[in-house]
Structure formats: structure tokens, C-alpha cells
Chain A
Amino acid sequence: MSDTVTVSPSSVDLRVQLGRLHLANPILVASGTFGYAREMEHLVDLGRLGGILPKTITMAARPGNPPWRTVEASAGLLNSIGLDNDGLEAFIEHHLPYLAGLPTAIIVSIAGRTVDEFVAMAARLDREAGIAGLELNISCPNVSGGVDFGTDAGLCGQLVRNVLSACRIPVIAKLTPNVTRIADIAIAASEAGADAISLINTVQGMAVDWRKRKPILGNVLGGLSGPAIKPIALRCVHQVRQAVRTPLIGIGGIATIDDVMEFFVAGASAVQIGTANYYDPTVSMKLLDRLPAALSEAGAASVAELTGTLQLPARPSADLPSKPSGT
């Protein structure tokens, strides 16, 4: 990226490639924050999106958690939806025909309790047309009873490997930030051959009503999303980018074009918009309107030219005492 090169907004190439997955542009909408897309048909030009991730599906139907399922936090939202969905077959029968007919990439988000369940879901979806990719939701903090693939590098690698061998669809692993070293999990997903890595899912949290001495969320614990978690998400993208070459999809608090550009510079090849869809239903369209000019301003003819161009300060000199971060 050089200041002297000028790129006109109209000549910017918005296409991105994530492993075997080719997208018309890098603006996607995150799973669980866009329903099954039909809801948004009249508010958003769905065909303009780089991709749509419908709400995560599980093998069997799940009622989800009892209310309250969301509660606001400062510049954020806590949720414990609990993967409320009608199950894989209902999805294929009732939602996929509509989704597959949209002129955009449909990336189906799946969650299983075991490796075998993930594999069976992937194999079943492989028989259906119109699916551009699978995202493995191994990071949902609201589901009890499942194996925690997102916090164990070995399990994560095994899962990605088995799913990849069960289907021909490109596979994305979606990671949780609720781990000590996210790079370790990402390395496992990368070595297993994931086409891309999405990060992050929500940050575990809770809300308390002190007068009633009760948790506010029906499920006690929930996941924090929205602008409040953007710094955490950027940190995760940065750390993972240092560790792997697999393309990254940045998620977490993205609401403005500056947010999008920050994620590219930190190492993302694409982004997913989540909570912002709730409080600004047309946000994805606004970002798409502004993206060419922003890339042009950065002197980038494509997203790839900007991805991971973060310039780190020179290493602290040896005579400075090394301080742990944050102090």
C-alpha cells in the first residue's frame, strides 16, 4: 500500500477468495443476526451481500432457551438464544429453497453435539444444491451438553478434518474468543485444512438484577456482542493472523466502514455484520455503498491488497523494562 498510488473507487475489485470459496464482495451477514434472510427481503437488497449466513441449525429441532433471551449492556447486547431452530430437515425443506434462489453466497452454519453429528449434517447438506460453504459453529456459549470443540485445539482439528472429508463444500471454522490462546485453536483448524476461519463469536458474560437477586437472562449466562467487543475481535484477528495463513473473516461489533477497514488491516479478508443488523437494519447496504471509496482512499485496488497490512511498532528496545500488557 503506497500513498502515491491512486485507485479510483470505480476500479476497485471487491471480490474476495477464502480458500475454495469465492465471494462477490467481503461484506457478509453473521449467523443468528439475520434470521433466515427472508425476514430482510424488503429492507435489504439481499443480492448485493457478499454472503449470507442463516441462523445456525442443529440436527434435531431445539426450542432454545427461556426468555429473557437478550438484555442490553453498555454499547453491546447479551444474548442466550440457545440455538432455537427447527432442525436440519426443516431447514432444507423450508428455508434452503428460498436461500438457494438468492443471487449471493449462502454459507450454512451448523452445530453438532459430537463429531459424528457435525459430519452427518455436512454429508446431508452436501447432497443439496445452492450451498456455497459451511460454517462450523463450534463456539456457541449457550448450548449445554455439547462437546466444547471451540476450546480444545485437538478436538477442533479432528472435527474440521472429518467434516472436510465428508463433504465437497468449502468449510469455515468459527471460533470463540473464550479461550486463553485463540491462535492455538486457529492453528489446529488451519492445519486440518479449513478454507477460512471466522472470528469471533460472542464473549461470555452475564447480567444481574440486584433488586431481585436474580440473573436477568433465562439461561443465566449469555454472550456479549456489539461495539463493546470490537477491540477483542480485532485483537483475535490480529493474533490469529500472526499464526496462520488461512483467510480470516472478522466478526465483532462491526457497524461502520471504519470498523470494516480496521478488520482488513488487522488481517481479515472479509467481515460479517452481526448485532448492527438489529439496530440498523440497512447497515450492510450502507457499508457496501462506502466500501469502494474507503478502499480507494487506502490505495488498495482490492481487499487482498489491504488484508494484514498492519504496521507494528518496532520491537521495544532492550533497555526498556518489559511490562505485561494492560498495566
Chain B
Amino acid sequence: MTECNPLHAAHYPDQARCTTVPIVENGPLARDTHRVRIQCPEIARTLVPGQFVMMRLAGFNDPLIGRALAVYDTFPDAVSQPAGIDVVYMVKGKFTHRLAECRPGQLLDVWGPLGNGFEAKAVDHLILVAGGIGQTPFVTVAQEALGHRQYGTPPRSNARCGRVTLCYGARSADMLAGVGDFEQLGVDVQLATEDGSRGHRGLVTDVLAGVLRGSHGSRRILCCGPERMMQAVAGVAAQHETPCEVSLESPMACGIGICFSCVVKLDDGQGGWDYRRTCVEGPVFDAAKIRW
């Protein structure tokens, strides 16, 4: 049904589970940035890089609506099976302020894994570009591309990449979160901060342009961050004739395709455009198809 019906999105939540699960750990990772670890083996076993979950405080009506959060990584149980997920979040508004105060044992409603995620593709040089809190979907991508870990049930094919670079921009050094996690995996990390407190002083797009100039062979750019930054990265990618996919952070209310909140203007392939649901057709889109 899904495959043959043009009005049915390709990524309905057919693998998703709705669970109420406890927090295992929750603590700061960088300025205004925390990591929460939750026990949810079913979600951890099936997810693939780039998918997200919806999360809310169980039993509370304010905040009411779930928040979409990228899966930072899975963590294993005693026998090395996926036991749950880590989520890295920036303390911003209603939900994340409350979440930052939560102790282990606090129950969360979590549903997922959701969305399409990034396809596994072997290229010579995989370039990840992150701004703000946009690094979160890339740990799993790097794990997979560098052959450290497989994801999904059954585990999806391991498309090894020759080299993985992360271009990561933030306002200042203290807001960079998880840089060590990437370095440990063997990712070549290139930083940019607006105030110059670490790495290149300026924008991540400057760093990206430099990386592209020094890169050879087949390339692929994956990008996540504020919309303006993704648009700029898409522009740089187009200049360098490099395929670019972006993971959008559209405002969502359900994450499962039933509310039509999360729409993005997408080329319809016939010279026009249509609003499409980010949660069931994305969040990962070919940057060239987005009408920014």
C-alpha cells in the first residue's frame, strides 16, 4: 500500500513503539546542553541513524505536546544488546527546562523511532555539517560510516566511508557539545565559533568550503542545524557540485503524520511545490528539493 500510493508517505511510523520509560541518567554536557539516557530496548534495537523520537513528561499536561529529539546514540546492556538511547538537548523552553530538572527514575512518554533517517551510502568522503544543536543526529552516522557499529533490525548493511569530517559551528567554545565523542570515533572534527573562542572564528560554512577544497573522490554532505545555516550549506554544496541532504527541525506536534504541522515546501518535480510532512517524509531531505 505504502509503496504504490502517491499520497502515502514512505515513512509512516510502522516500526514505532509507544512506551513509558524511566530516565537512567540525566546531566550537563556543555553550556545549556544536557544528555538524557533512557531505557527503551525496543526503540534502540530498530532505529537507524538520523531517526528521531517524540518525548514528553509522563502524566503532565503542561507541557502537553511531545517534542521531537534526534537519537544521539544507543547504549548496550550487559550482553551488548541495545538497551536504550541517549538524547542530547539544548535547554531552551518549556519542555527542555523541565527535562533538565528530571532525576533518574522519572518517567517519560517516548514514541519512535520516527522518520526516514539517513540512508547508508559508501562514499570516499562523508562530510557532516552541524550548527547549534545539529550535531545530535551525527554520532550514529559516524559510528556506522566508520564501521564501529550497526543499527536497525536486521542490522543494515555497513556502508563504510573512507573518511568522515564533522564541520561543527557554535556561538562559543563552551556551547560545543560532544566534540570528544566524535574524535573518539576517528572523525576529523573542524570547529568554528562565532566569537573565535575555539576553532575558526566565523561561520561553519567557511570551514565547509575549506574542507571541500581539500577533498577528493566521491563526496556526500549531511547537514543539520538552524534553517538559515542549512540553506547556506546547501548553497555551498551546490557550488561544489556535491550531493547534500539536510535534516530539518520543523515544529512538530505529533511526529507520526497525523497533524500536518511539520510541513516543508518541497519541489513537486513539475515546476511547482507542495507542503510535505517532515515527520513522515523526512526529517532528511535532498537539499536541492527544498524551497527555502
Contact with B along A46-72 (1 / 0, CB 8 A): 000000000100000001100111111
CB-based contact A42/B13 at 8 Å:
yes
Q: Which of A41, A86, A90, A278 contacts B253 (CB 8 A)?
A: A278
CB-based contact A278/B258 at 8 Å:
yes
CB-based contact A70/B259 at 8 Å:
yes
Q: Given the known inter-chain contacts A38-B8, A39-B12, A281-B18, please indicate yes or no for A67 contacting B260, CB distance below 8 A.
A: no
CB-based contact B256/A39 at 8 Å:
yes
Q: Is A26 an interface residue (CB 8 A)?
A: no
Q: How far is the CB of A80 from chain B (nearest CB, A)?
A: 10
Q: Is A40 an interface residue (CB 8 A)?
A: yes
Complex: A34 Cα to B111 Cα, angstroms: 16
Closest to B12 in A: A39
**Interface size bucket, A side?**
35 or more
State the total of A-B contacts with C-beta under 8 angstroms: 113
Q: How far is the CB of A282 from chain B (nearest CB, A)?
A: 5
CB-based contact A278/B6 at 8 Å:
no
Residue among B61, B63, B257 with the highest chain A CB neighbour number at 10 A? B61
Closest to A76 in B: B64
Across the interface, which residues of B come within 8 angstroms of A296, CB to CB? none
By secondary structure, the B interface counts as loop
Contact with B along A75-86 (1 / 0, CB 8 A): 111010100101
Q: Which of B7, B261, B274, B280 contacts A69 (CB 8 A)?
A: B261
CB-based contact A74/B62 at 8 Å:
yes
CB-based contact A33/B258 at 8 Å:
yes
Across the interface, which residues of B come within 8 angstroms of A64, CB to CB? 260, 263, 275
Q: Is A227 an interface residue (CB 8 A)?
A: yes
Q: Is A20 an interface residue (CB 8 A)?
A: no
List A263-313 residues whose CB lies under 8 Å from chain B: 275, 277-282
Contact with A along B98-112 (1 / 0, CB 8 A): 000000000001010
Across the interface, which residues of A come within 8 angstroms of B256, CB to CB? 39-40, 43, 281
Q: Is B290 an interface residue (CB 8 A)?
A: no
Complex: A71 Cα to B94 Cα, angstroms: 12
Across the interface, which residues of A come within 8 angstroms of B8, CB to CB? 38, 94
Q: Is A226 an interface residue (CB 8 A)?
A: yes
Q: Is B173 an interface residue (CB 8 A)?
A: no
Known contacts A77-B253, A281-B256, then 14 further A-B pairs from the complex at CB < 8 Å, ordered by chain A residue: A33-B258, A36-B7, A38-B2, A55-B260, A74-B62, A84-B260, A86-B7, A90-B7, A94-B7, A94-B8, A278-B65, A279-B65, A279-B254, A281-B111
Question: What are 8 residue pairs bridging A and B, where the CB atoms are less than 8 Å apart in the complex?
Answer: A35-B257, A38-B8, A38-B12, A42-B16, A64-B275, A70-B65, A90-B7, A94-B6
